Every structure is written in C-alpha cells, then in structure tokens.
C-alpha cells in the first residue's frame, strides 16, 4: 500500500511540473496523498497566496516564513493576509520574528494600514519591530509617524533605539530635526557608526551645510566605501571641487578601493572645472581597474569630453565601448555633438538611437532640437515636434523652450507663437527665447508685448531678457522704447547694465541715425574705453555716411586696441562709399603698418563656405553680378548639395531682371538634389578668417547683418 502511494505521489508531481505554466497545478497538488518538501517549495514559488489558501498541509512556522519570503520576492501582499489569519487563529504568540517578517512584507508592499494593525496587535514587540515600522513609514512618506514611533520606543519596555533607527530617521528629516537627532546620536554614542555618520553626511550636504557634513564625516570610526562616496559626491554637489579632489586623493592614500560611483563624482568635478587633464587621469584609473565599461562612469566621461575642447573623438570612442548604452548615454553623446557645432553628426546619432529601439526622454528632445535650429531645417524640426506631441513630453518646459527656439530660428513665427501661448507655464527662458525670435525678425513691438506678459505672470526679467529686448528695439527702430528699457532695468529691477546692453543701445541709436546722441551716450555712460561701443558707432557712421564722426570713432578704437584691423576696414569702406580714394589709400597703408594680417575686402580661405556666402550676399546688396557668380561657384564646389548659393544668385538675377538666368539657376537647384527648407529671414554671419573678422554689408556691433533671403522670396522662386 505504501509503495502504491509513493508511486501515485510521483505521478502527481510529474503532472504538476507538466502544468507549471497553468493555473491547474494547485488542484493537482491537492490530489497528492502526501507532500514532500520539494513539491511544497515548488508550489509556494508558483503562487504563495494560492498555497496558503488551498494546500491541505499542516501549517508550520517554517512554512509561513517561507511563504512570506516568497511574497516579498513577488511583491504580492495577498499571502500576507492568509499568513496573518493563521498567526492569529493558531496563536503563534511566541514567534516575534515571524510577526516581524509579516510586518516587513506589508511595509515593503505599501500596505501600511495592515502593517499598523499587525504592529498594534503583536503579542510582543522588539527593536526589530519598531525599526521595521519606522522604516516602513519613512519609505511610504510618513516621516511624522516615524518620529512618533521613535518617541514611543523610549517608553517601550526593554526597547531602545539603535543605529538603524537613527540612520533611517536622519535620512528622512531636515533642518532643526536633523540637529536634534544628531544630538540624540551623540548621546547614544552612535555618531561613530558608519550608517549613522553616512546619513548625517548625506543630509548635511543636501542642505548645503558642507562644514557640518565634514565634521560628521570625521567622527565616523571606520570609514567604508559608502561613506567616502557620499562625502565626495556631497562636495561636488556643494560646488567645493577642490575639497572633493582632496577627499579622493586621501581615499587613495588610505588604500580604499573606489568604485564606479566614486569615479563618476570625480569626473563631475573635472567637468565643472573644465580640467581635461585630470579627467583623463581619472579615465586612466577607470581603465586600470576595469570600471571604464560601466554605464554611469562612461556617461560622465562622455559629458566631460564633450564639454572640453577637441574631446568629441574620445567621447565617441567611449560611447562605442558601452555594451548596452541607455537613454542617458545616447542623450549625452547627441548633446555633445550638438554643442560642438556638429549638427549633422548629432542628427545621425539620433536616428541610430531610434533604429536601436530606444525611446526619447525630455532631455533627448531638448538636446536634438537645437541641431535642427542651427541648420534651419524646419521640415525635420516639425517631425520631431510630431514625435513630442505623441509622447508625454509635450508639457515639459525645457522641450517647449527648445521648440520655441527652433521655430524662431527657422523663421516660422506663427508656429512659435502657437507653441508659446499653448504652453502650460512660462519661465524666463521661454519669454527670452520668444523675445529674441521676434526681435531678429524686426517685430520689436510684439517682443515688448511678450516682456509685458512676462511681468504680468510674475516673472522677473534678468539681464539676458533685457538684452534681447534691447536688440528687438534696435532691429525694430524703437529708439525711445529702448531708452525706456535701460531706465527700467536700473530703476525698477536694480540691474546694472553690462557692456553688451550699452553697446546695443549705441547700435540702436546709430541705426536710427541719431549719431550725436549715440556719441553722447557713450560718454555719459563712461564707455570711452569700450571698443565694442565705438565699433557699433563706427558701423552706424558707415551706414549713414558720416565721415567725421567715423574718423573719430576709428581713432578711439585704435587708441584702445591698436593691433585690431576692424577700424581700418570700416573707415576704408566709409571713404570708398564717399569716393574719397586718397583717404582710403592712406587707411590701407596704416593697416599694413599696424601689422594686421587682414586685408580689406578679401579672404585668405577660398574654401571657406561661410565667407563666400557672406560675399555672395554682399553682391546681392550691391548688384554685383559677376562677383556673385564666382562666389556661388566657389560655394557649390565645396557643398554641391546646398541650396543657399542658388537662392542668393537667383535673387541677384531677379533684381537685374535677368529672368532667363534665374530660370537656369532654378533648374540647377532641382538637379543638385537640394531639399527645400525654410531659410531664416535674416542670417547673422560672423565669418572667421584667420584671426580676424571679415565684415560685409552693414556692420552693427560685432557682426555683419546680411539679409540673404526672405521666406517669401524663396517660396516664390520654388513655385
């Protein structure tokens, strides 16, 4: 008979394993004549709740303990209810450890109400019971209840707080409570404990009390890796880069093995201090101990190399060495290429990320949108906007700000307005971006309306906002409003105008032809030695043909900065436009004598696309067909798929009424395969030629404003 039962049990166990992916195995289990420990453990792992409910086995402490442990692994508190019932009915009064396990299950599964019931009805409570409940309250966001339990511990018989109690409470409190708990820890002699000490260091650094954190750190008797990591990271968080590095050096001296978290904090220090040499040493240490392939340290290294000059090659190598790059890795390398002006590489990586099945987050969208802004690629920028609309990140402030910037730089002000007014809320960046976009397109009054809206929303404009507003007034010819902005900046917001604000005001007066007022403004504001202000005035003198004041402005610039070439170039252009050829020749001679390598009106890099685009735009302004054709050819030779030379040359032909030539250019544009994209109405091109700047068109402040094409003219040409 016994042999038959054993065989039947084995058959039932075999059937149970066959149905291990079905819900029928409980019924199979209940058919077994008797159970073995292996079959019991297998069934518990399948579903602890069902087993406690249905299995006809004798309930033991071992069995209930095993059920609770398996429930913790699955995160399902239902089995706890059944265990709770068994504990109550079968009078397991002497098994406090079992009650504590049940209490821990409820706390970790978020069932704090059941946890309180268990805690209040426990036959006997010890320090583990209190600690479990205290940590459970903290984990579920009830810090005050945790403090109340801490007070109750002092009244409980044979129960006193220990280092776990204090460490948990310290991490959940701030301000005066931390100071009080610190005193309690000192009273009980727990300050030297690594858990309590590390909690004190962590909370003090988070509250920016670095000196208190350092004192708590030095009180720890045996420093472990966690203590060192918290201290170093806290120094970085508080901006104390030197102290963080000293801590790291001391850590190495005491032969404490660092990990990826340690190196990540040190790399952050190198990043903030732009110390590439030290960062490379840290990178070498990571390679030496085999930590360089870790994703967190790799992400930090990518960001560090990206923000240091000539570091993108290293950043890309690190990225390619990550076995499983996460979204942070992808975003870091994309942002790095974009910040270094390599927009096409950033876009290529973004597409690779999508092909890899990675989903963007808000930082990814905010990082890739500026690449489309810089390339004035409105079509693809709209595609990114569509992806944002399908995600939950359409409400994110940083993403909306990036969209504002993209649409403004691509010339689609209607869409920029729509994004701005449909945003849930604005910040200074939102308003400043919108003001900048409107100002660049000559819509000064609309820009000032945004400034008023900003003030009505309770946002205080800063110096960057005022600079954008002043620039908008300058482009829109709103001189009186610009002067009012300067006064408001000083009188209302107590902001001291920087040289950029004052130079912009000079530029604004100069554009409006109020040159004498601009000169008086320079003197009244104590800007006689400011080269930028005089350059702005000199550019305005050229625009309005004011020779005498131009000569004076050029002299002031040369007195302050004799090695510069800009005053010679601008003054020579003034003389040329006034047909004062002898004076122009003298200026050219003075330019040579000054030792400047810059020669008026020419470039030394024929392959510089931007220089030829600037020259081509200048030909359009002055109707120079022959030189314009040469410039367009030079651009096409370097960038055959670009659309800019065709557009500019077509505009020159249109102004000369050379319609047949314009038609040929249009056909060449189609043949070249250049994609249609919106072009910014006004491009500001700052052309670097060796160590100097080539100015074309009308010079305002430090950059040449070159109106190369409007959206309307481009659309009409394509049509």
Residues 358-387: pLDDT tens digits?
A: 999 999 999 999 999 988 889 999 999 999
Lowest mean pLDDT among 32-36, 331-335, 594-598: 32-36
- pLDDT for 85: 66
- pLDDT for 200: 92
Is 635 domain-assigned?
yes
Residues 522-557: pLDDT tens digits?
A: 888 887 778 888 888 888 888 888 888 888 888 888
Lowest mean pLDDT among 318-332, 392-406, 652-666: 652-666
- pLDDT for 230: 92
Please say if the pLDDT value at position 701 is more than 90. Answer: no
Is 684 domain-assigned?
yes
Return the biggest CA–CA distance within the chain. 128
Q: Cβ contacts of residue 395 below 8 Å, gap of 6+?
A: 424
- For residue 327, what pLDDT band results from cuts at 50, 70 and 90? very high
* 113 neighbors 143 (Cβ within 8 angstroms): no
* Cα-to-chain-centroid distance, residue 702: 29
Region 692-700: mean pLDDT is 32
DSSP β-bridge partners for residue 453: none
pTM for the model stands at 0.66
Strands (E) located in 135-174: none
Angle formed at CA 156 by CA 153 and CA 161, multiple of 5 degrees: 35
Please say if the pLDDT value at position 399 is more than 90. Answer: yes
Exposure string for 244-279, b = 16+ CB within 10 A, e = fewer: bbebbeebeeeeeebbbbbbbbbbbbbbeeebbebb
CA distance 275 to 267: 9
Question: What percent of the chain has a predicted confidence (pLDDT) above 90?
Answer: 21
| Helix %, strand %, coil % of the chain (to 5) | 70, 0, 30
Which residue did the predictor score with more confidence, 473 or 123? 473
Which residue did the predictor score with more confidence, 488 or 16? 488
- pLDDT for 665: 53
- pLDDT for 704: 30
Which residue did the predictor score with more confidence, 33 or 253? 253
Which residue did the predictor score with more confidence, 648 or 319? 319
- pLDDT for 691: 26
Is 613 domain-assigned?
yes
- pLDDT for 89: 62
Which residue did the predictor score with more confidence, 86 or 569? 569
- pLDDT for 609: 58
Lookup: tokens for 410: 């691509």
Q: Which domain holds residue 664?
A: 609-718
Region 474-490: mean pLDDT is 89
- pLDDT for 290: 77
DSSP assignment of 524-541 equals HTT-TT-HHHHHHHHHHH
- For residue 87, what pLDDT band results from cuts at 50, 70 and 90? low
Region 387-411: mean pLDDT is 91
Residues 617-634: pLDDT tens digits?
A: 666 655 667 776 777 776
Which residue did the predictor score with more confidence, 432 or 307? 432
Region 275-282: mean pLDDT is 82
Angle formed at CA 461 by CA 457 and CA 462, multiple of 5 degrees: 155
Is 295 domain-assigned?
no
- pLDDT for 25: 40
Region 491-509: mean pLDDT is 88
- pLDDT for 371: 93
Mean of the per-residue pLDDT values of the chain: 75
- Structural domain count, the chain: 1
- For residue 81, what pLDDT band results from cuts at 50, 70 and 90? low
Of 257, 269, 206, nearest in space to 228 by CA: 257
Is 433 domain-assigned?
no
* 593 neighbors 585 (Cβ within 8 angstroms): no
Is 495 domain-assigned?
no
Please say if the pLDDT value at position 394 is more than 50. Answer: yes
CA distances from 74 to 52, 109, 111, 112 (A): 15, 10, 15, 18
Is 642 domain-assigned?
yes
Lowest mean pLDDT among 173-187, 198-212, 583-597: 583-597
Please say if the pLDDT value at position 433 is more than 70. Answer: yes
- pLDDT for 596: 53
Which residue did the predictor score with more confidence, 271 or 244? 244
Task: For 693, list phi and psi in degrees, rounded to 5.
Answer: -130, 130
Region 140-159: mean pLDDT is 84
Please say if the pLDDT value at position 408 is more than 70. Answer: yes
- pLDDT for 397: 92
Residues 280-307: pLDDT tens digits?
A: 888 888 888 777 666 788 888 898 888 8
- For residue 37, what pLDDT band results from cuts at 50, 70 and 90? very low
- For residue 53, what pLDDT band results from cuts at 50, 70 and 90? very low
Is 145 domain-assigned?
no
């Amino acid at each position: 008979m016994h042999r038959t039962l054993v065989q039947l049990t084995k058959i039932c166990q075999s059937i149970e394993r066959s149905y291990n992916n079905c819900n029928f195995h409980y019924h199979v289990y209940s058919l077994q004549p008797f159970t073995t420990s292996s079959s019991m453990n297998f069934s518990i792992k399948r579903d602890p709740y069902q087993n406690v409910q249905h299995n006809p086995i004798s309930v033991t402490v071992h069995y209930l303990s095993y059920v609770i442990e398996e429930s913790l692994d699955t995160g399902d508190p239902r089995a706890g209810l059944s265990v709770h019932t068994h504990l109550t009915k079968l009078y397991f009064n002497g098994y406090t450890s079992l009650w504590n396990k049940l209490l821990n299950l409820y706390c970790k599964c978020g069932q704090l109400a059941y946890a309180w019931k268990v805690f209040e009805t426990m036959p006997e409570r010890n320090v583990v019971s209190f600690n479990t409940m205290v940590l459970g309250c903290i984990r579920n966001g009830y810090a005050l209840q945790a403090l109340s339990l801490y007070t109750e511990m002092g009244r409980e018989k044979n129960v006193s707080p220990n280092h776990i109690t204090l460490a948990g409470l310290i991490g959940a409190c701030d301000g005066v409570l931390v100071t009080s708990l610190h005193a309690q820890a000192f009273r009980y002699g727990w300050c030297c404990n690594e858990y309590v000490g590390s909690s004190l260091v962590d909370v003090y650094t988070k509250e920016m009390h670095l000196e208190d954190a350092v004192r708590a750190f030095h009180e720890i008797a045996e420093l472990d890796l966690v203590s060192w990591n918290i201290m170093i990271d806290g120094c970085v968080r508080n901006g104390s880069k030197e102290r963080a590095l000293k801590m790291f050096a001391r850590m190495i001296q005491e032969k404490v093995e660092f990990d990826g978290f340690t190196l990540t904090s040190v790399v952050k220090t190198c990043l903030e201090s732009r110390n590439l040499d030290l960062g490379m040493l840290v990178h070498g240490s990571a390679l030496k101990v085999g930590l360089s392939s870790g994703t967190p340290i790799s992400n930090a290294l990518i960001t560090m190399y990206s923000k240091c000059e000539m570091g993108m090659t290293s950043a890309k190598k690190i990225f390619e060495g990550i076995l499983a790059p996460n979204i942070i890795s992808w975003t870091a390398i994309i942002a790095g290429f974009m910040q270094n002006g390599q927009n096409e590489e950033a876009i290529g990586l973004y597409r690779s990320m999508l092909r890899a099945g990675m989903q963007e987050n808000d930082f990814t969208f905010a990082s890739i949108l500026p690449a489309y802004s810089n390339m004035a690629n409105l079509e693809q920028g709209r595609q990114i906007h569509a992806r944002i609309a399908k995600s939950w990140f359409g409400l994110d402030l940083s993403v909306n700000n990036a969209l504002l910037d993209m649409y403004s730089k691509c010339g689609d002000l209607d869409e920029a307005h729509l994004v701005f007014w449909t945003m849930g809320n604005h910040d200074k960046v939102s308003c400043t971006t919108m003001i900048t976009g409107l100002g660049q397109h000559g819509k000064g009054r609309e820009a000032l309306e945004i400034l008023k809206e900003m003030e009505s929303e309770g946002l205080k404009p800063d110096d960057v906002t005022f600079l954008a507003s002043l620039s908008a007034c300058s482009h829109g010819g709103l001189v009186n409003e610009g002067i009012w902005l300067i006064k408001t900046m000083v009188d209302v917001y107590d902001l001291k105008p920087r040289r950029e604000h004052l130079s912009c005001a000079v530029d604004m007066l100069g554009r409006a032809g109020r040159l004498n007022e601009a000169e008086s403004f320079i003197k009244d504001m104590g800007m006689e030695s400011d080269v930028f202000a005089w350059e702005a005035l000199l550019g305005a003198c050229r625009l309005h043909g004011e020779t005498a004041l131009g000569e004076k402005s050029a002299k002031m610039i040369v007195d302050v900065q004799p090695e510069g070439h800009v005053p010679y170039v601008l003054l020579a252009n003034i003389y040329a436009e006034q047909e004062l050829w002898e004076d122009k020749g003298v200026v050219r001679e003075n330019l040579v004598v000054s030792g400047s390598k810059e020669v008026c009106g020419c470039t030394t890099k024929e392959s510089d696309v931007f220089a030829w685009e600037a020259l081509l735009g200048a030909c359009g302004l002055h109707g120079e067909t022959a030189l314009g054709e040469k410039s367009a050819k030079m651009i096409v030779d370097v960038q055959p798929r670009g659309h800019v030379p065709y557009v500019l040359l077509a505009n020159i032909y249109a102004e000369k009424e050379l319609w047949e030539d314009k038609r040929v250019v249009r056909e060449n544009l189609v043949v070249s395969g250049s994609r249609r994209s919106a072009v910014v109405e006004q491009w500001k091109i700052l052309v670097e030629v060796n160590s100097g700047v080539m100015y074309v068109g009308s010079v305002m402040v430090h950059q040449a404003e070159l109106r190369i094409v409007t959206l309307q003219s481009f659309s009409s040409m394509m049509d």
